[in-house]
Amino acid sequence: MMELILDGGLLRFDGEVIELFSERGNSDRYHIRYLNKLEFAEGRKGITLLNLRYGGGGGFSGWIIPEENMGQAQQFMNAVQNAQAALRKN
């Protein structure tokens, strides 16, 4: 199980499903089989953002990754990409 702390939320990845929990109490689940894109983007003032595109157009964008969590964010991204590659082989 991997976790990535965002500004105002938390991402969790169990090897198949990405879960997003916001501080407001909302949560969403995204199975990597239907994941179109998970990417970093640059925001204003050099802030790094996380965007996810899913299935028929769902997902999220603009979650801020605190600078001190960028190493963790890259590990999270690598784990998701590796799991997607393993799914494609099956």
CATH of 2-89, one of 2.40.50.140, 2.30.29.30, 3.30.70.370, 3.30.300.10: 2.30.29.30
Q: Where are the domains of the chain?
A: 2-89
Task: Give this prediction's pTM.
Answer: 0.90
3-class secondary structure per residue, 14-74: CCCEEEEEECCCCEEEEEHHHEEEEEEEECHHHCEEEEEEECCCEEEEEEEECHHHHHHHH
For 36-51, give the DSSP string: EEEEEEE-GGG-EEEE
* pLDDT at 78 (0 to 100): 97
Structure tokens given for 41: 């983007």
Kindly report the backbone phi and psi dihedral angles of residue 51, in degrees, each rounded to the nearest multiple of 5, phi listed first: -125, 145
* Amino acid (one-letter) located at 75: Q
pLDDT tens column, 40-68: 999 999 999 999 999 878 899 899 999 99
